[in-house]
């Protein structure tokens, strides 16, 4: 008997249902950090300053249903929009699949737990601050959101 492969391995992004599309988000919160763009080079500079609606503990949007009304420049990810977006973090599930790469073990769809994205150190938990108290974004430029994280595996112990 063979296991049926999961939907993200068998369907293209533009073939997924709305529910599958939403489930792809790993809840890392990295895309909700503010970014700056350098005029001369067009380079994207990441900051550790989070959108005011990001819950810094869960790393999820605190009002996802109303987010576009409350934060008009919140970008809605769609399969079509992906091609024009150059600032998604390299660990983002949408970016990984669009580039033909697999989801990592810490992705909740793979691990079966929403906690692994935090346990592996992929989410912004503990290292982002809210735009409500950040001041100038230029003072908060960091590299880590734009780099592929080296995940921490949670400590394992033997089952006796
Ligand atoms: S970076 Fe990608 S996977 Fe992470 S929260 Fe944003 S959309 Fe979801
Ligand atoms: S409104 Fe919500 S989804 Fe949009 S950037 Fe802010 S926290 Fe993220």
Q: What is the pLDDT of residues 77-103, one digit of tens each?
A: 999 999 999 999 999 999 999 999 999
C-alpha span between 126 and 123 (Å, rounded): 9
Mutate to test the pocket of ligand 2, among 50, 55, 61 (most ligand atoms within 8 A of CB): 61
Identify the domain containing residue 101 by its residue range.
Answer: 8-146
Note the pLDDT of residue 12.
Answer: 96
Q: 33: closest CA among 18, 48, 53, 13? A: 48
Full-model pTM: 0.91
Dist. CA 110 → ligand 2 center (Å): 24
- Residue 106 falls inside a structural domain: yes
Q: 21: closest CA among 100, 98, 112? A: 98
- Residue 67 falls inside a structural domain: yes
* Average of per-residue pLDDT across 15-40: 97
Q: For ligand 2, is residue 74 a contact (CB within 6 Å)?
A: yes
C-alpha span between 106 and 112 (Å, rounded): 9
- Residue 98 falls inside a structural domain: yes
Q: 131 or 3: whose pLDDT is higher? A: 131
- Residue 69 falls inside a structural domain: yes
Dist. CA 132 → ligand 2 center (Å): 14
- Residue 157 falls inside a structural domain: no
Give the number of whichever ligand sits closest to the CA of residue 28. 1
* Average of per-residue pLDDT across 101-116: 96
Exposure string for 101-131, b = 16+ CB within 10 A, e = fewer: eebbebbbebbeeeebbbbbbbbbbeebbeb
Dist. CA 63 → ligand 2 center (Å): 8
- Residue 51 falls inside a structural domain: yes
- Residue 160 falls inside a structural domain: no
Instruction: Report how many domains make up the chain.
Output: 1
Tell me which H or E stretch contains 35.
strand 33-37
């Amino acid at each position: 008997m063979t296991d049926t492969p999961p939907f993200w391995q068998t369907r293209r992004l533009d073939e997924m249902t709305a529910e599958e599309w939403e489930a792809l988000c790993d809840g890392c919160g990295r895309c909700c950090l503010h970014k700056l763009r350098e005029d001369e080079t067009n380079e994207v500079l990441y900051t550790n300053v989070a959108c005011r609606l990001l819950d810094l503990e869960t790393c999820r949007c605190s009002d996802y249903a109303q987010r576009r009304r409350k934060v008009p420049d919140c970008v809605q990810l769609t399969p079509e929009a992906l091609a024009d977006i150059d600032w998604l973090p390299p660990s983002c599930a949408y970016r990984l699949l669009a580039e033909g790469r697999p989801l990592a073990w810490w992705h909740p769809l793979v691990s079966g737990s929403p906690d692994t994205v935090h346990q592996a150190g992929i989410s912004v938990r503990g290292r982002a601050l809210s735009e409500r108290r950040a001041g100038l974004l230029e003072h908060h430029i960091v590299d880590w959101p734009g780099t592929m994280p080296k995940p921490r595996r949670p400590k394992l112990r033997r089952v006796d």
